[in-house]
Amino acid sequence: MKIIFSNEIVNRAAAYALRQAIFVEERGIDANVEFDKKDTDQRIYGVLFLEPNFPIATLRLEPQKNRVIRFGRICTRKEYRGQGFGQKLLEAAEQWALENGMISGEIHGELTAQVFYEKCGYQVTDGPYYEDGAPVVKMAKKLK
Amino acid sequence: MKIIFSNEIVNRAAAYALRQAIFVEERGIDANVEFDKKDTDQRIYGVLFLEPNFPIATLRLEPQKNRVIRFGRICTRKEYRGQGFGQKLLEAAEQWALENGMISGEIHGELTAQVFYEKCGYQVTDGPYYEDGAPVVKMAKKLK
């Protein structure tokens, strides 16, 4: 298992492939909503590879103002959910954020994932409200 | 069914997702070989969508010198092979190429796909030789 944070094409391709399979094809989110202006060549994605060419979880690093970072588009391949991979990836992303000067993590989590993010140390700060067609809550965690 | 030629993120994500599934995970090609310097924000991919959010075939447009265009990274989702989708996409790509000033199409086809490309009007001009670990033949077709 290896977790990589990078904007290299291999990482971006892995992230897009997971999101196409999970958000677009499994969950039915329109690809024009799922993929947006934040998905550029420069964007850094976190990808958890179970084996070198086999990515199973991803998230998007979205630095905000005031040393806040949002972790977006978090998803895990269907067959590998409930096994702690999402949490491992999120913890690694928090570590990456700390090393890159961030002090607070933010997630716009779907209501159905609220308990999972609470387990990861996030607390609801706002919502629920609708975003991209799904009810989400804004959650935050102090990183240091 | 709709075929789209574009470098927009939705199209690129669909192309990468198919190549990750087919070339990397099904065929075992290393992701660091599969995704290369030609996969940029500016690159135009052809994608055949069976339904709006469901891409099943893709190729990469690689203009060369002297009004030659190479069609690269051609692949079709496993369950949809042998049903003419690859050929439909290739014909649409030839049409795109013609409209964009190209006069000749080129494919570095795997030996196993040679008969398919011959059916599409391509003739072997060189090879076979090894490229990215597989025996390929260079094939060409006059577009006009």
Asked if A10 is an interface residue toward chain B (Cβ–Cβ < 8 A), one would say: yes
ipTM of the complex: 0.90
Are B105 and B71 within 8 A, CB to CB?
A: yes
* Beta strands per DSSP E along chain B: 2-6, 45-51, 54-63, 68-76, 104-110, 123-131, 134-142
Give the pLDDT of residue A6.
Answer: 98
Domains and CATH numbers, chain A: 2-105 (3.40.630.30)
Q: CA of B3, closest CA in chain A: separation in Å?
A: 15
CB-based contact B17 A14, cutoff 8 Å: no
Which residues lie across from A63 on neighbouring strands? A69
Among B13, B40, B54, beta carbon nearest to A35: B13
Helix (H, G, I), strand (E, B) or coil at B44: coil
The amino acid occupying position A37 is K
Q: Which residues of B touch A20 (CB under 8 A)?
A: 13-14, 16-17, 55
Q: How far is CA B135 from CA A18, A83, B110, in A?
A: 30, 40, 6
Q: Which residues of B touch A24 (CB under 8 A)?
A: 53
- Return the bridge partners of B88, or none: none
The tens place of each residue's pLDDT in chain A, 144 residues long, gives 999 999 999 999 999 999 999 999 999 999 999 999 999 999 999 999 999 999 999 999 999 999 999 999 999 999 999 999 999 999 999 999 999 999 999 999 999 899 999 999 999 999 899 887 779 999 999 998
pTM beyond 0.80, yes or no = yes
Q: Is the pLDDT of residue B144 over 90?
A: no
